Structure 1
Amino acid sequence: MTTVPTRPPLVYSNSVAIPFTEERFVPLPDSSALLGDAAALRARLAEDGALHLRGVLDPDEIWALRAAYFGRFPPGYLRPGTDPAAGVLGEEVVPLPPYGVPGHPAYEFVRSTAFLRFVDQPALRLIAETVLGEPVHRLARVILRHFDRRSGKSSRAHVDHTYMDRGSGRVVTMWLPIGHAPLETGGLVYLEGSHRLTPEELAPLRSVTDRPHDQRPLSHDLNWVGERIGRRWLWADYEAGDIALHGPHTVHAALDNATDAMRMSVDVRFAVRADRADERWLRPWAADDGA
């Protein structure tokens, strides 16, 4: 087994170790050069199930959004003397309402004028219309997440369609890192070729889970998923201004954050305007909305 150079021998997702080897991980191709060629961009998405587009957004806007979000937390939540844009978790355990519910900064922030202006910028809509080939609208349910190194938690392996199966399915998700998100911060990873797997092929993955009460995610154990399916995880060192884009049937997950700086990201989804949309995605996000 060959270890990929210059990286830690192990990475983690939901506190489960995964060998960072060429047998388990492969870089997600940079598709930025295809942005001026709609047919080529659609072909790459059809082939890979995901796209990494570098430098699409203004990094200054990204850092300003990050600072505005972490600046909403009470004293002690961030490390004293640090810039809110750095998002460095403090040592103090500050009591907060549950994540993403009324009273928590994330709940209020996704309803703010600055946040809505950011997710409604034309560059995002244009890319969505390019890959879907038709006019689109942004779904109102836009999810904001941040993860710190103490939590040992991250997004489990899943496909988006499971959570939005009451619509037409002509949807794209854009994952926006709010700040730099190299491998060590716990960025998004994709299971190669998984958009071509059938629901029947994916179903056995639910047998290894830390959420037996919830059959929507596939598994929290990304190493086992890779072994069971015989496919590698696509990864990237994301930077502020990048976009990762995927369709509703691509298996994806996130790695745990191993750095002092919190990993912050936003999920924006666009659907074909003429289609029926899943009604659960037509209202602003809350962590307890059940969608």
Structure 2
Amino acid sequence: MQPPLEFRPHTLAVNDGPLQDVKFLHQSCSTEPMETLRQRYEEDGYIFLKGLLPRADVLKARHDYFAMMQQTGVLQESTEPVHGIFNPLKSPAEFPGIGAGGAGKNGRPGGEKAAQFVDLAIEAHYRDWYAEDFCRHPALLEFIARFTGWDTNTLGLRRSLLRNNIPGTKPIGVHYDQIFLRHGEPTSVTAWVPIGDIKLCGGGLIYLENGDPVGVACEEDFKKKANATELTDEEAKDAFNSNMMATGLLSELPLEFARMNQRSWLVAEYEAGDVVLHKPHTIHASTINNDPDRVIRLATDLRFVDSSRPFDRVCWTGQCTICSY
């Protein structure tokens, strides 16, 4: 049985305990030679780009998000929305993070008590300041187009995942993104974008060291199981998920998963403007937000594909359920 989550300032921890023996993500810069960045991406399964986006633009999106959420009482009174300071008089249970599981009776996180907060968190995905200004930011689109070589075929999928992480709430478990993009080639690029500064103990994303081959091996194992049941290709794509948890996760226990695979977790302190690009099978998770200043972690997953190749068109239309519960 998992121990209950607790708010422990300064502690770098995941669902099954404190993170120890961690290593740090390799930092890159968008001005480095493109071939160097591509090689690093292939070898590591990710590139951690410092300051790719203008800081002011990222902080504007953070302000707009929390100004929208302020009516729920999530923010400490007399603080600016852009700071995103959690209200110490409220319970974290009232403000569940999208994508962490724990759906209530209404099929959404937190149950009826959290309905307003969850509804607004979902609605934020469709506001112009996010869907147009942020998700289609020219600095990001232009870099992705050059980095991948897709140029004008670079397409951002409409389905994205704008996640908040209140201090002390459940973090995201172990997964890789191809889980959510099964009806397309495994060539998509995910841009994980922190919307604000995130301290080392503030609930940021962590990556399994050399985790891309582990994800590929998991996928191959799922394929073998599907083939053994004589399913069609389309049936098999959906049946892969039966090998995982209901949320599409490989595990809720990052420490145990890393031990089983004899690898370390890679961590980082993030700043507004940073972007991490990762491959579709790169394994990642997040830590518990133990920010000592009770700063709410906000970040988004944006996915890009080559429109000239087969891709998950359900994700493109935006008509599917947001990867949320």
What interval of TM-score do these two structures reach, taking the shorter chain for normalisation? 0.7 to 0.9
1:143–1:285 Cα contact (<8 Å) kept: no
**Considering only aligned residues, what root-mean-square deviation do their CA atoms show, in Å?**
2.6
| Gap change, CA 1:278 and 1:11, over 3 Å in 2 | same
Q: Map 1:57-72 onto structure 2 (within 5 A).
A: 57-72=53-68
Task: Name the count of aligned residue pairs.
Answer: 269
2:195–2:298 Cα contact (<8 Å) kept: yes
1:3 is matched with: none
1:78–1:88 Cα contact (<8 Å) kept: yes
1:141 is matched with: 159
Question: 1:175 is matched with which residue: 183, 192, 196?
Answer: 192
Cα deviation, 1:254-290, whole Å, max 9, x if unaligned, reads 1110020100001111101201221231133886667
CA distance in 2, matches of 1:172, 1:257: 26
1:207 is matched with: none
Q: SS in structure 2 opposite 1:256?
A: coil
Q: Map 1:32-181 onto structure 2 (within 5 A).
A: 32=29, 35-73=31-69, 74=71, 76-90=73-87, 91-92=89-90, 95-97=113-115, 100=118, 104-115=119-130, 116-135=132-151, 136-151=154-169, 153-181=170-198
In the alignment, is residue 279 of structure 1 matched against residue 313 of structure 2?
Answer: yes
1:202–1:218 Cα contact (<8 Å) kept: no
| Gap change, CA 1:112 and 1:202, over 3 Å in 2 | same
| Gap change, CA 1:171 and 1:98, over 3 Å in 2 | farther
CA distance in 2, matches of 1:62, 1:290: 22
How far is the alpha carbon of 1:42 from its aligned partner? 0.6
CA distance in 2, matches of 1:251, 1:285: 26
How far is the alpha carbon of 1:202 from its aligned partner? 8.8
2:168–2:288 Cα contact (<8 Å) kept: no
In the alignment, is residue 217 of structure 1 matched against residue 256 of structure 2?
Answer: no
Residue type at the aligned position of 1:139: L
Q: SS in structure 2 opposite 1:71?
A: helix
Q: SS in structure 2 opposite 1:42?
A: helix
| Gap change, CA 1:290 and 1:276, over 3 Å in 2 | farther
How far is the alpha carbon of 1:49 from its aligned partner? 0.6
| Gap change, CA 1:283 and 1:18, over 3 Å in 2 | farther
| Gap change, CA 1:286 and 1:114, over 3 Å in 2 | farther
1:268 is matched with: 302
| TM-score, normalised with respect to structure 2 | 0.76
Residue type at the aligned position of 2:306: V
CA distance in 1, matches of 2:156, 2:20: 36
1:238 is matched with: 270
Q: Which has the higher helix share?
A: 2
1:69–1:105 Cα contact (<8 Å) kept: no
- Where structure 2 has 5 or more consecutive residues not aligned to the other structure, the ranges are 1-8, 95-112, 223-242
1:255 is matched with: 287
Identity of aligned residues (%): 28
How far is the alpha carbon of 1:62 from its aligned partner? 1.3
In the alignment, is residue 31 of structure 1 matched against residue 22 of structure 2?
Answer: no
CA distance in 2, matches of 1:137, 1:10: 39
1:142–1:285 Cα contact (<8 Å) kept: no
CA distance in 2, matches of 1:285, 1:237: 34
CA distance in 2, matches of 1:186, 1:71: 21
2:160–2:323 Cα contact (<8 Å) kept: no
In the alignment, is residue 186 of structure 1 matched against residue 203 of structure 2?
Answer: yes
CA distance in 2, matches of 1:17, 1:256: 10
1:179–1:240 Cα contact (<8 Å) kept: yes
How far is the alpha carbon of 1:213 from its aligned partner? 5.0
- Where structure 1 has 5 or more consecutive residues not aligned to the other structure, the ranges are 1-7, 205-210
1:154–1:255 Cα contact (<8 Å) kept: yes
Residue type at the aligned position of 1:56: L
How far is the alpha carbon of 1:121 from its aligned partner? 1.4
